[in-house]
Structure 1
Amino acid sequence: MMDTEEQYRGFLAPSPEYLASVKVFPLIPAIKKDVTANIDSALSWDQLTASDINFALVRPLVFKYAKLKNLAAVYACLVVRAHFLHIAAEDLAFSGIMIARGNLCEIMAMKLLGHISSDRVQLVAVLTSCWSPLAGAPPDIINEVRDALGGDDDDMNDPQCALEVAISSRAKTFLSSPVVQTVVDDIYSGRVVFSMTGHRSVLADNYKPRGIEIYDPRKAPFLDHYRLRVPKYNAILEFLNFAVLMFTFILCLSTRNVNKMDIPEIIFVVFAVSFTLAEYTASKEHGWGIYIANMWNVFDASFILIFICYLILRVSGLLQHDTQSSELAFDILSCGACILFPRLAFFAIRSNIVVIALRGMIAEFVFFMGIAAICFSGLLFTLSTLDGGAHWTMRSIMWLMVQIWFGNTYLSFGQASSFHPFFGPILMTCFAALSNTLLLTILISILSNTFARIDANATQEYLFQFAITTIEGVKSDALFSYQPPFNLMALVILWPSSFVLSPRALHTFNVFLIRLTSFPVLIVIQLYERWFAVGKGFRETGKGAAQSLYHSLPRRIKNVPILDAIMGSSAGDVYDAIFDIECAPDEFDDLFQESDDERPALRSFTSREGLRPQRPLSPLSGKRRPSPSKSPMRDGGPSPGNSPRPRRPVLPQIEPFNSTEIPSLGKASPLAKLFTPRRQQTLSQPDFNAASSATNDARMKRMEAMLEDIRELPVQKLKDEMKELQDRQARIENLLLMLTRGMRNETGSHTTSRHDTLS
């Protein structure tokens, strides 16, 4: 008998020892070699996913690596994809081929997920396990990589999971696939819990790593500090922290004091510093590439930059008693409102297409404006040289050009002569024409194309951003479990303690501080998960009572539009009730009492009229046979006892003939009686003749339908085309003989006889 542990081993998460023994490096050159050997032309995504390429190229490669049962195969495919995309960005001559190879690696990663992962937990392990690309590499290769990196071992020990590689290489199709999104949604909602080992954390706590498991709130401890790392709860807490930060920001600017820092400003500085520490922790945990890929983090990083400038000027002004620096510091800080207010509003409409496309449009706008500014810097230098500083400074010329760029064209004509009487009007007219007519039109076209491109892939872009938000929420840094401003306290207390305490003592102290500082939040989370998210007792009981009260009301009251809109239409209740009732498998067997021989054969679309039920034709007169009188006893009508189930026919039904021979209508011979079934022999001769006639008519109809289908086949059409080609070939040969008759000195009679022979 199979051992219990062996029996359920496929349903358990892979152990850390198994993950450490997986060889990752041999997969990377093997996948690169196979993809390079099979893709030697620039193929689009649609061509790679076509049926012919799929069966001839993709499926053999997927089956080859699926046989290895290596959980790191998906990670290796994404690493090779990132390599091909990097080559495509550097070598434009072969960018099409490299992009096609990268797309093939992404398709292989998507298909390998269904082959490698046998259950839900193993699927999570494939996507979230951190792999080292040098695991399983020979020592000489490891030494060569170390020398290429400058001999730094810290850069070599940088494992990543498949989701992180997919985000950094922008594998949006892979991340938006249903299988990956199922895992991402489970991680985001906290149904699947695990802990990642921190390698780049500010304050790492790797004493007790948590394996992958399905979360059950009834079995978890009441104050489970790991729930603070669930991305769904983290998003709510982040919104609240951001609201508090904006509230202190408003108080700080409303009570500004250039001579000293009052209490509202001190509170704002504390919350802003803790917010900066949280963002720095997030960027250090997963790297700047993944952090900046989230469009919300772009806003956060911009506000942090404004806050750092404010803080430097504010501290400098207080130390030097310079009120002008303090005024400038508050002026710079007030510019942060342009980021804080939209950032808070975007929490409610984060899935809107305009918000999703905003980052791409801003990036295109900034890039285009930078190119335009560089191009027009030559005009700025020319105008300042022509004026010579007599009327215009460099700053005033720049401001004049900005006004002309954004629509004040009349300024270019009014101030043109002040630069130069001849060249000034020409230069300013050209600048106004270029900026207002050509370049603004190009800018609008670029932004429209960007919005249309993102709008076409709005779902994919949203799922990509959702995956980034989720993977950012799964952080191993101990500071991530503390809400601002308690993360500052944890940094001040725990970071020096990490050099003195043992890993176990540091973990115990860290858990105590987390539960102490987040006690109300943990209580709310546990109450929600135990009684609202899982049990739903109060909601289900209240909903059932409301439905019972609604159904007990009179029909006139239930048809009131307001009640009908609140409780729902009764038609949906009827449909739900129909599918809720369980019926026995043989409850309605009489619906399928038709014989197999009387089922319609496979016909073409042009012969669908043969499927219509018609009365059989008489073989002699060609008229319709009168339908026999139907009695309740013969046709399976209701029983005399008013039973809802139909009663079985009393007389035995005629079984269809399995033989293809047509039975004789005359008297049966002794040999025929010998091979005739007993049930058929018990039938009377008139019934037998009628049954034989009906069977013959049915078979004749099937034969006619088959002949009609044969006529519709392309064989006859092919024969006609072949005959036409033969006639055409004969005419061409005859024409060639007539044209070459003079060259061969042949007579007309010979040609005529030859023509008759060919004819």
Structure 2
Amino acid sequence: MDPEFEGSHCQTQGLLAPTPEYLASVPVFPLIPNLKKDLTGLADTALSWQQLTASDINFAVVRPLVFKYARLENLAVVYACLVVRAHFVSAAESELAYAGVILSRANLCEILAMKLLGQFASSKIQLVAVLTASWSPLAGASQEIRNQVKVALGGDENNLNEDQCALEMAIATKAKAFLSSPVVQTVVDDIYSGRVVFSMPAIRSVLADNYKPRAIEIYDYRKAPFLDHYRLRVPKYGAILEFLKFALLLLTFILCLSSQDLHRMSNFEIIFVVFAIAFTLEEYTASKEHGWQIYIANMWNVFDTAFIFIFLCYVFLRVKGLVQDDALASEWAFNVLACEACILFPRLAFFAIKNNIIVIALRGMIADFVFFMGIAAICFSGLLFTLHTLAGDKWSVRGIAWLMVQIWFGNTYLSFGQASSFHPVFGPILMTGYAALSGTLLLTILISILSNTFARIDANATQEYLFQFAIATIEGVKSDALFSYQPPFNLLAFAILWPASLFVSARTLHSANVFLIRVTSFPILVAIGLYERFFTGDKGLRESGKDAAQSIYNSLPRQLKNMPILDALMGANANDVYDALFDVDFEQHETQLFFDESDEEHRLPELHSLLSRDTLRHRRPLSPSSGRGSTSPLRESHSRQRSPSLPRRALPPMIQTSVSAEVPSLSKQSPLAKLFTPHSIRQRATSQFDGSPMQHIQQTDATLKRLESLLEDARNLPVNRIRDEMKELQERQARIETLLMTLTRGMRNESTHVARHGTIS
């Protein structure tokens, strides 16, 4: 095959998306033990991230591994690196003695994954396939290996089909540097905005619709149907719909609490319960789709989980109150439900400030606060038991615990006022010690911990935000059919399609699913279709409206244009001028800054070599027709066509003699300088081609004689005198060094003699 054709064929193949058959045939398992072996042998020292990314480690360790595994051209190598990282991270938690070394290997896996991902960055489709294709860790393994893994998992065959993509593995292993790298964020941003379309196989879904799995492709609204139900799974549109969903849920929640009835359910309460159940089903489906580890990594899902827990407590108490006609249980149910406001209001407000550093650091600070409070409660449980034993029947456990909580949060007066009620001797001692520990020492430690947590997250704020953004994007691309329905229509779809999936074919289930999605989400699909065709496609409507507004603004008087409001709306005039500069069509001669190369008078100096006498003697004579006009027609044409708008500038007298880059000298030029100036060289070069051959020889002989005379003059220059002076200086230096050596030798002999004389005496 022709190499050129073969190269173009490979390039064309690289632009196409990998087929599902090809992805299924990629061997994944052989990569995992080889990567583990190489990384274990190379990294045997605890190194920080800065040390691992240093140039010496990069060239000595990382680059050889990158070249070794890049030759395989295996799309699953990035996924395999992250699988090995997951192994090292879990091993570091169990082997604390070698945790530093093992974490260094885990970080090295992340660095290697980032480097190997750059090998696939030349093709956008291939890059997306590396990050989003679902890989099985046992692909390419022998049947014996599969049986051993099956036995280790308890003999369940379904556990062997836990396929994941590289992005999911990066989230599970908290590879924040990998996820925040520009190459990964390019793909994540394309997935979030819907420019890249793909679908994961629904394996762990509540309602799976795998009849038509979509291959990886670049979305084009011209080829897609107007009512494209797959656009409901785009994370960008999902975020907008999620905001509207929470706003509607908050509205029904407020209406439910405003119309409380202890003996029966009101209409607003029924609507709220339906929306809350639909929301619970959606969150349960999301946690099952990607797994609890990825679901809980999103800090917003922590709020959603707390909302579901409080709602289930409300449902339990409310059902008990209605069935048993217990007004107290119903009252407690509404009291518990009122606590939902502590979650719903901030959850909705955080949509506007979700990129703020305080919001990003909130999850880590809450986790550290809860952990520290738990440790403190365990530590002070012994004091609680001691005080209860000393007080006897005077204090209950609940009363002592509440008193300790008040003292913990700053009410130290109670520790001194109630101390003697526990015991006249030990009571004041114990309560004073507890007040000192809780109010001073432990509270200071808590503030320090939260400050360090905030400072750590603030230093990596961009990385933490991109990590959360990647989690939200992957969660938005869900394959479960229920995610295409907005609450409360997902309850209707679940009630109809889930029983039907048990006995109908996959084609029938897919057709019914598409019909229900388009019916229940018809206004949303119409809005998305219009938006993508008239606002994000060719941007015709938006650009035409902007141009019309700009023309109206330009037609206004100058006094109105300078109004601050209009200037803020339309933009500053200076920016318009700067933008317009690059929209103007200009000719080349209008912007020509430097002269043409044919302009000999202003050309930069070049290195010329004079023809030797032998060369001139053996050179064939030029024909009369090959004179100056025939040898340089291009130069003459350029000089004639030069624009008259750019006249030649007259150079100062001191600079006209030389156009070199050297600083011009004000002194008189030497004979050699006069000889080798560009002007004199050019004169001699042009004069060589004028006249007859005899004239050429005569001119050459004259030039050589002139050179000989110049060399004779050069012999009389003060170079020889300078050389003699330098030789004399060297001789003087040698004599001075000899004299110094003699003097120091005498001093050394004298000191030695004195030392010996002192020893003898």
1:401 aligns to 2:409 (yes or no): no
Q: Which residue number in structure 2 is paired with residue 83 of structure 1?
A: 87
From 245, 249, 254, the equivalent of 1:245 is: 249
Distance (whole Å) between structure 1 residues aligned to residue 573 and residue 315 of structure 2: 64
1:148 aligns to 2:156 (yes or no): no
* Percent identical residues: 66
Letter in 2 for 1:113: L
From 353, 357, 363, the equivalent of 1:359 is: 363
Deviations for 1:567-618, whole angstroms, at most 9, x for unmatched residues? Answer: 323322232222333556675263576544489xxxxxxxxxxxxxxxxxxx
Q: Which residues in structure 2 correspond to 1:747-758 (within 5 Å)?
A: none
- 8 Å CA contact 2:121, 2:183 repeated in 1: no
Distance (whole Å) between structure 2 residues aligned to residue 731 and residue 165 of structure 1: 76
Distance (whole Å) between structure 1 residues aligned to residue 170 and residue 748 of structure 2: 68
- More moved, 3-12 vs 540-549: 3-12
1:590 aligns to 2:601 (yes or no): no
Q: Which residue number in structure 1 is paired with residue 538 of structure 2?
A: 535
Distance (whole Å) between structure 1 residues aligned to residue 119 and residue 248 of structure 2: 48
Q: Which residue number in structure 1 is paired with residue 518 of structure 2?
A: 515
Letter in 2 for 1:427: L
From 109, 113, 128, the equivalent of 1:105 is: 109
Q: Which residue number in structure 2 is paired with residue 504 of structure 1?
A: 507
Q: Which residue number in structure 2 is paired with residue 644 of structure 1?
A: 645
Seen in structure 2, the aligned counterparts of structure 1 residues 736 and 396 have a Cα distance that, compared at 3 Å, is farther
- 8 Å CA contact 1:639, 1:645 repeated in 2: no
Letter in 1 for 2:503: V
From 454, 458, 462, the equivalent of 1:455 is: 458
Q: Which residue number in structure 2 is paired with residue 611 of structure 1?
A: none
Letter in 2 for 1:539: R
Deviations for 1:530-588, whole angstroms, at most 9, x for unmatched residues? Answer: 11222322321222223234344555554444443333233222322223335566752
Q: Which residue number in structure 1 is paired with residue 313 of structure 2?
A: 309
Question: Unpaired runs of 5+ in structure 1?
Answer: 600-637, 701-723, 749-759
Distance (whole Å) between structure 2 residues aligned to residue 193 and residue 426 of structure 1: 69
Number of residue pairs matched?
664
From 186, 192, 200, the equivalent of 2:190 is: 186
Distance (whole Å) between structure 1 residues aligned to residue 300 and residue 513 of structure 2: 29
SS at match of 1:17: helix
Alpha-carbon offset, residue 739 of structure 1: 6.5
Distance (whole Å) between structure 2 residues aligned to residue 538 and residue 104 of structure 1: 50
Q: Which residue number in structure 2 is paired with residue 617 of structure 1?
A: none
Letter in 1 for 2:645: P
Distance (whole Å) between structure 1 residues aligned to residue 233 and residue 35 of structure 2: 35
**TM-score, length-normalised on structure 1?**
0.81
From 127, 142, 150, the equivalent of 2:131 is: 127
Seen in structure 2, the aligned counterparts of structure 1 residues 674 and 8 have a Cα distance that, compared at 3 Å, is closer
Distance (whole Å) between structure 2 residues aligned to residue 519 and residue 496 of structure 1: 24
Q: Which residues in structure 2 correspond to 1:697-736 (within 5 Å)?
A: none
Seen in structure 2, the aligned counterparts of structure 1 residues 427 and 666 have a Cα distance that, compared at 3 Å, is closer
Alpha-carbon offset, residue 745 of structure 1: 13
From 415, 418, 431, the equivalent of 1:415 is: 418
Q: Which residue number in structure 2 is paired with residue 480 of structure 1?
A: 483
- 8 Å CA contact 1:639, 1:646 repeated in 2: no
Deviations for 1:32-79, whole angstroms, at most 9, x for unmatched residues? Answer: 111112111111111111122212221111111111110001101111
Seen in structure 2, the aligned counterparts of structure 1 residues 667 and 488 have a Cα distance that, compared at 3 Å, is closer
Letter in 2 for 1:413: F
From 465, 468, 473, the equivalent of 1:470 is: 473
Q: Which residue number in structure 2 is paired with residue 383 of structure 1?
A: 387
- 8 Å CA contact 1:70, 1:116 repeated in 2: no
Seen in structure 2, the aligned counterparts of structure 1 residues 647 and 682 have a Cα distance that, compared at 3 Å, is farther
Q: Which residues in structure 2 correspond to 1:323-334 (within 5 Å)?
A: 323-334=327-338
- More moved, 316-325 vs 122-131: 316-325
- More moved, 51-60 vs 515-524: 51-60
Q: Which residue number in structure 2 is paired with residue 231 of structure 1?
A: 235
Seen in structure 2, the aligned counterparts of structure 1 residues 508 and 6 have a Cα distance that, compared at 3 Å, is farther
1:285 aligns to 2:289 (yes or no): yes
What RMSD, in angstroms, separates the aligned Cα atoms of the two structures?
3.7
Alpha-carbon offset, residue 256 of structure 1: 1.3
SS at match of 1:533: coil
**TM-score, length-normalised on structure 2?**
0.81
Seen in structure 2, the aligned counterparts of structure 1 residues 7 and 371 have a Cα distance that, compared at 3 Å, is closer
Letter in 2 for 1:644: S
From 442, 445, 457, the equivalent of 1:442 is: 445
Letter in 2 for 1:677: A
Deviations for 1:227-282, whole angstroms, at most 9, x for unmatched residues? Answer: 11011111111111111111111121111111112211111111111100000000
1:38 aligns to 2:42 (yes or no): yes
- 8 Å CA contact 1:413, 1:428 repeated in 2: yes
Distance (whole Å) between structure 2 residues aligned to residue 242 and residue 413 of structure 1: 48
Alpha-carbon offset, residue 737 of structure 1: 11
SS at match of 2:532: helix
- 8 Å CA contact 1:673, 1:681 repeated in 2: no
Distance (whole Å) between structure 1 residues aligned to residue 448 and residue 189 of structure 2: 36
Alpha-carbon offset, residue 192 of structure 1: 0.7
Alpha-carbon offset, residue 117 of structure 1: 3.8
1:210 aligns to 2:214 (yes or no): yes
Q: Which residue number in structure 2 is paired with residue 677 of structure 1?
A: 685
- 8 Å CA contact 2:134, 2:163 repeated in 1: yes
Deviations for 1:654-680, whole angstroms, at most 9, x for unmatched residues? Answer: 9999xxxx9858999xxx999952357
- 8 Å CA contact 1:243, 1:344 repeated in 2: yes
SS at match of 1:113: helix
- 8 Å CA contact 2:482, 2:493 repeated in 1: yes
Question: Unpaired runs of 5+ in structure 2?
Answer: 608-638, 651-655, 661-669, 692-698, 715-736
Alpha-carbon offset, residue 741 of structure 1: 9.8
Q: Which residue number in structure 2 is paired with residue 263 of structure 1?
A: 267
Distance (whole Å) between structure 1 residues aligned to residue 378 and residue 93 of structure 2: 24
Q: Which residue number in structure 2 is paired with residue 19 of structure 1?
A: 23
- 8 Å CA contact 2:232, 2:238 repeated in 1: yes
Distance (whole Å) between structure 1 residues aligned to residue 351 and residue 98 of structure 2: 42
Deviations for 1:216-235, whole angstroms, at most 9, x for unmatched residues? Answer: 11221011000110111111
Letter in 1 for 2:329: S
Distance (whole Å) between structure 2 residues aligned to residue 497 and residue 70 of structure 1: 40
Letter in 2 for 1:169: T
